Structure 1
Amino acid sequence: MNQPAQPESVPVEPLDAQGLLRLITADFETLPRQLKRIATYMSQQSDRIMVDRISDIARECEVHPSAIVRFSQRFGFSGFSEMQALFREAYTHKTTPVQNYQQRIRTMIANKSQKASGGDLARECVNASRSGLDRLAEELDDEAFDKAVDLVVNADNIYVVGVRRSFAVADYLVYNLQHTNKRIHLISGLGGSYREQMRSVRANDLVIAISFTPYGKETQHCLRIGQHHGAKTLIITDTQLSPLAKRASALLLVNEGSSFAFRSLSATLCLCQALFIAVAYRLELKVDEIQEPADFDD
């Protein structure tokens, strides 16, 4: 006798928002491409879901709204509204800076009768940066941060890689770490030479990779080289669902605020500065070893 076909999965509705996020993380690799985009957004923007419209999420994920409904049903809900209610229950008594900012942006866009001035737009950029910094302070994982400091302190050589918008952060972190006695290498990929610049990485070295969605292929390539040679890896990214996260010896998560589709770098730069300060403290660096000499020509 033929057995009835079994469903692809039998999701059990989680008791709370955090349970749902854990279930999404566990099921991520089995999701179709479009649903993976939605899962990544859910992981990055969990505190925005309660105020997001289905059209907002669809636009951010570049999918049709029906994909949001399929995603909700995949995890045991009748539709998006039922899943959203889970997040409203979790965040009703906790209005976050990101939620406040999102509502303010919507009001500005919807108000067609009043044209925004340059100052208004500038303040929205400032507020976006502030929301990212507030979220970083609230969500920073102390244990993960201490592990990251250990990796930097104990590394023989440190290779730092970040491409496109992350390159500015990588360069800034290299500048800071060069104030220590560590051997610091910026992987710039000048002339396409990523492989050549990673050639000397060895065990007891550390590769620091900074990458956010859509995640630079060059950065992932450098990580694979580093791990092939036995180096430790410190990953700075935006979600545990990032393809870089699975290669992390230590993982630091940071989600930036965005203003009119432009993401800030303020929280990421702050995280890197905090990492350097913690490393300097552990290495007992003196202030005069960090500051430039008074007669140094800038």
Structure 2
Amino acid sequence: MAIPVESAPDTVAGLKLLLESIEKRETDISLGSSSRRVLTALIESPQRAAVSSISELSDQLGVNASTFSRLAQRLGYSGFSKFQDVFRRELTEGRHFYSDQASRLLVRADNSDTISQLTRLGRQESANIASMIEQVDPQIFEAAVDLLSNAKRVRIHGMRQFNSLALFMAYGLGMLRPDVAPLDSSRQGVADALAQLEENDVLVVASCFPYTPSVIATAEVAAKHGIRIIALTDSASSPLAKVAQHSFYVPNQSLFFSNSMCAFMLLAQGMLSAVAGRLGEVSVSALKYREALIAELNTSL
């Protein structure tokens, strides 16, 4: 019988103590030899447990992928993602995420065949994109498109590599409708940038593990002041998902030494295309006006 969910360990140290209790039969949780071996391996290598997908872990440890889901549930977690969060926290909120990713890349690298590596990367990205599309709830997608189309103001916020996604979305959406911009925190600070927004305006935030603390804090404060949040993130356990009206979960496991952006960019393009369709002639007129301005500027230069 599994222990209650609320009693499931929230640290790797707690998992170690639980494993000792299981082996000494001091708890009513029973695990087979294969599950005990897997749990031991994960505890001994929290970096691998934190950054690898179920399929990668199953290949590395030589067990069926379903073993990890069953193990998580037996230990009292609602699913593998909640179980994996324990190991992610062990990495001090991702302090070693990028070097761990690069280490995995180096182990797999074959310097004599870089094209094969490119092929594997392409296949992984294709799988990420397919999985992302399957996870999109049509009603949530429509609701988000409606907000992006009709809200009085829209700001888009992302840091580090997600800053490029924020700039791309702000540029694309700004081609279609007025009062769209990246949340400009670099010049005046986040507080002043948020002060430009009012209740029912929209803030799109993007981040995934290792989550950028400032992006999380910005989303939390904005939500408290009635600003509607759309989150582009990696899972339902993401701290951004907890404050967002609408969340989209984007797989991003790949050979890349950081978080993969391919599926995120496709989702952004899909949302922008849907907004263009929703606005109809309004978006066409906005694009024509932009084209006219470009022509005038080209003539004058």
TM-score, scaled to structure 1: 0.65
Q: CA deviation at 1:227?
A: 1.6
What is the alpha-carbon distance in structure 2 between the residues aligned to residue 201 and residue 28 of structure 1? 38
Q: Which residue of 2 aligns with 1:255?
A: 251
2:287 corresponds in structure 1 to 290
Is the 8 Å Cα contact of residues 154 and 201 (structure 2) preserved in structure 1? yes
1:269 to 257, 261, 265: 265
Quote the residue 1:281 is aligned against.
Answer: 277
- Amino acid of the residue matched to residue 289 of structure 1? A
Distance across 1 between alignment mates of 2:167 and 2:11: 33
AA partner of residue 160 (structure 2): R
2:206–2:231 CA contact under 8 A, matched in 1: yes
Decide whether the 8 Å contact of 1:129 with 1:266 is kept in 2.
Answer: yes
Residue 197 (str. 1) matches residue 193 (str. 2): yes
Q: Equivalences for 1:31-46 in 2 at 5 Å? A: 31-34=9-12
Determine the C-alpha separation between the residues in 2 that align with 1:135 and 1:44.
18
- 1:29 and 1:251 map into 2 onto residues whose CA distance is 28
Q: How does 1:156-235 map to 2 (within 5 A)?
A: 156-190=152-186, 193-235=189-231
Q: Distance in 2 between matches of 1:73 and 1:208?
A: 37
User: Structure 1 residue 149: deviation in Å?
Assistant: 1.1
| Structure 2 counterpart SS, 1:144 | helix
Distance 2:137 2:270 in 1: 13
Change (3 A) 1:183 1:191: closer
Could you say if the C-alpha distance between residues 263 and 128 of structure 1 is closer, same or farther in structure 2, counting changes exceeding 3 Å?
Answer: farther
Query: Residue type matched to 2:129 in 1?
Result: L
Which residue is 1:142 aligned to?
A: 138
Query: What is the one-letter code of the residue matched to 2:148?
Result: V
Give the share of equivalent positions with the same residue, in percent.
21
Q: Which amino acid aligns with 1:51?
A: S
Secondary structure of 2:195's match? coil
Task: Specify the alignment match of 2:242 in structure 1.
Answer: 246
CA distance in 2, matches of 1:29, 1:165: 36
- Alignment RMSD: 4.1
Residue in 2 that maps onto 1:75: 76
Of 142-151 and 259-268, the range deviating more from structure 2? 259-268
- Higher helix proportion: 2
Distance in 1 of aligned mates of 2:207 and 2:133: 20
Unaligned runs of 5+ in 2: 16-41, 84-103
In structure 1, C-alpha distance between the alignment counterparts of 2:7 and 2:76, rounded to whole Å = 14
Structure 1: how far apart are the matches of 2:59 and 2:76? 19
Residue segments in structure 1 that go unaligned for 5+ positions in a row: 1-6, 12-26, 57-66, 84-105
Answer whether contact 1:54 1:68 (CA < 8 A) is retained. no
1:201 and 1:242 map into 2 onto residues whose CA distance is: 24
- Matched-pair contact (CA < 8 Å) for 2:204–2:231: yes
Query: How far apart, in 2, do the equivalents of 1:278 and 1:30 lie?
Result: 42
In structure 2, the CA distance between the partners of 1:69 and 1:277, relative to structure 1 (3 Å rule), is closer
Q: Are the structure 2 counterparts of residues 128 and 156 from structure 1 closer, same or farther at C-alpha, using a change threshold of 3 Å?
A: same
Return the alpha-carbon distance in structure 2 between the equivalents of residues 133 and 125 of structure 1.
12
Deviation for aligned residue 1:268:
0.4
Determine if the alignment matches structure 1 residue 126 to structure 2 residue 122.
yes
Change (3 A) 1:209 1:260: closer
Q: Secondary structure at the match of 1:48?
A: helix
State how far apart, in whole Å, the 2-side matches of 1:44 and 1:236 are: 19
